[in-house]
Chain A
Amino acid sequence: DSGVTQTPKHLITATGQRVTLRCSPRSGDLSVYWYQQSLDQGLQFLIQYYNGEERAKGNILERFSAQQFPDLHSELNLSSLELGDSALYFCASSVDRGDNSPLHFGNGTRLTVT
């Protein structure tokens, strides 16, 4: 168990809808990362937050947004959903104090857009 908690595990919704994915990082970790993994694809970096502030942006669509709250949990909001947004969404966390900070992944949220 990595200590990173993601909810829900599964989400089925229709095109055009909006969903929120939630992530609780490991205790003591300040950074949260979001990754998208489509079928048989690698991990695409979406966005990183550090201690409440956006730190890095990857291939995140404008329809997607994220935030990190004062208690360090994070939410990824996906809106105007399209069929192609169906994927596994992973959250990872790290201590990120400049040394020895590997990423620890949660078990993901599987999003199915119908």
Chain B
Amino acid sequence: GENVEQHPSTLSVQEGDSAVIKCTYSDSASNYFPWYKQELGKGPQLIIDIRSNVGEKKDQRIAVTLNKTAKHFSLHITETQPEDSAVYFCAAGLYNFNKFYFGSGTKLNVKP
């Protein structure tokens, strides 16, 4: 099956700085890469996703890049704010079959 590795496990940045979280996957058949944000006491919430036919996708301060050849994808958050503090999970899987394998999570702390 798919194996998703996520780094770093914790990330601390100053408010206004950028944050980058990286994931690698093992199964070349994976074609869908969502990112989830989990705030304390809540379930993960989808924040952005990308399909394998796209190399980059941006939504305001959040962007995701995908390198299919190298089997890695990254989440970029610019101009971080304290409310960005949360645990972020990447996932990889097969879009049509809704099979997702999650990374181990990155705890992002944005210091005011």
Residues of A within 8 A of B (CB): 2, 4, 31, 33, 35, 41-43, 45, 48, 56, 90, 92, 94, 96, 98-99, 101-108
Contacts and interface: CB of A to CB of B under 8 A. Distances in A.
Interface string B84-105: 0000010000011111111111
B98 A105 contact: no
A96 B100 contact: no
A25 to B, nearest CB: 13
Interface residues of B, number: 22
A103 B102 CA distance: 12
A2 B45 contact: yes
Interface of B: 6, 34, 36, 41-46, 49, 89, 95-105
A101 B98 contact: yes
Contacts, number: 50
7 contacts: A2-B43, A41-B104, A45-B100, A45-B101, A98-B96, A103-B100, A105-B45
A4 B42 CA distance: 12
The A interface is mostly helix, strand or loop, or mixed, namely loop
Contacts of B49: 102
B98 A43 contact: no
A85 B34 CA distance: 27
